[in-house]
Chain A
């Protein structure tokens, strides 16, 4: 399966439902059971909220199923980036997925890669 990309504005919470639908579709394509799919959807949307906490206005999510299910969530259009309080989010995301790698721009998290 080729990568699937979603790009959206983080300031409008109604887009999160669309993101969950898109991620749910890819989880189904990867044949995840419904519980694992729900965990992954929560982790992707929470990652988006982390980027928002760090000051990004938008996020691009790239989903792929070539090597397990992978989601790369990248922030864009951040005028003034901050570190944000994200320890708890990251701890819980780590508990829900197989691996969670983060990339920082200075102190701010700019990219999160999730893998099941």
Chain B
């Protein structure tokens, strides 16, 4: 469909509200929704869910677009759909907002755990955290379950201080934290000593660049479980390499 024909259809739709015209326009621009859904797929939300969200945004965009304001529809709808998808990611990551008090206590708990570990070499118990922070054990337990909401739009420091990127651009990035290890041969040797399941986690996360959620899906376990397993494996490798 040419831009002129599309503009004409938009005008006719605005005049008549004819659903058939709207649907013809939606079908014509569905490729935009598909491209944007694919761009954001594989980051913890299914492609089909993203396509549905993008399609709803497309329909809404078609219904509101005015061709006489001077923009092409694709110029108008692309940032609109992108924004809707980002909002969906935000809502998907946490459907319940944390009370401010709980959020503040959660941060205090994390800091207290780190301080205690630094001073004593072991992690504290809930009872000890309760004494340190002067809060009830129930509140400490609840705060420990409350992870701070993270926006996928939040900038992630690049290191050079200039090219900060949003979080969703760096999730499952190819960059490997194993680059910190200087002796790659020693690392390879230690990885071979891991059991097959642990090697599979490492391969998926650091060779294939899968996110924890993707790795969990492939292995049939939860993202949280992959996170714990990964932490254990890395600790094991670090210990072996620093002996």
Contacts and interface: CB of A to CB of B under 8 A. Distances in A.
Interface of A: 17, 20-21, 24-25, 27-28, 31-39, 42, 45-46, 49, 53, 85-89, 91-92, 95-96
B124 interface: yes
Interface in B197-225: 197, 200, 219-222, 224-225
A34 B197 contact: no
B148 to A, nearest CB: 15
9 closest residue pairs by CB, A with B: A28-B126, A33-B123, A35-B123, A91-B197, A24-B141, A88-B219, A85-B220, A34-B123, A42-B228
Interface of B: 113, 122-127, 129, 137-138, 140-142, 144-145, 195, 197, 200, 219-222, 224-225, 228-229, 232
A27 B13 CA distance: 62
Contacts of A37: 126
Given A37-B126, A39-B228, A95-B232, A49 B222 contact: yes
20 contacts: A20-B145, A21-B141, A21-B142, A24-B141, A24-B145, A28-B126, A34-B123, A34-B125, A34-B129, A35-B123, A39-B228, A42-B225, A45-B224, A49-B221, A53-B220, A86-B220, A88-B197, A92-B225, A92-B228, A95-B229
Given A33-B123, A92-B197, A38 B228 contact: yes
B229 A92 contact: yes
Given A25-B141, A34-B113, A42-B225, 18 more contacts: A20-B145, A21-B145, A24-B144, A27-B126, A32-B125, A33-B125, A34-B123, A35-B123, A39-B228, A46-B221, A46-B222, A46-B225, A49-B221, A88-B200, A88-B219, A89-B221, A92-B225, A95-B229
Contacts of B229: 92, 95
Contacts of B220: 53, 85-86, 88-89
A17 B94 CA distance: 12
Q: Interface on chain A toward B: helix, strand, loop, or mixed SS?
A: helix
A87 B127 CA distance: 35
Contacts of B123: 33-36
Nearest to A17: B145
B94 to A, nearest CB: 11
A28 B200 contact: no
B221 A33 contact: no
Given A49-B221, A88-B221, A33 B142 contact: no
Contacts of B126: 24, 27-28, 34, 37
A45 B221 CA distance: 10
Contacts of A96: 228, 232
Contacts of A36: 123
Contacts of A38: 144, 228
B119 to A, nearest CB: 14
A33 B125 CA distance: 4
B105 to A, nearest CB: 14
Contacts of A88: 197, 200, 219-221
Contact of B127 (A24, A31, A39): A31
Contacts of B124: 33-34
A33 B127 CA distance: 9
A42 B34 CA distance: 36
A33 B122 contact: yes
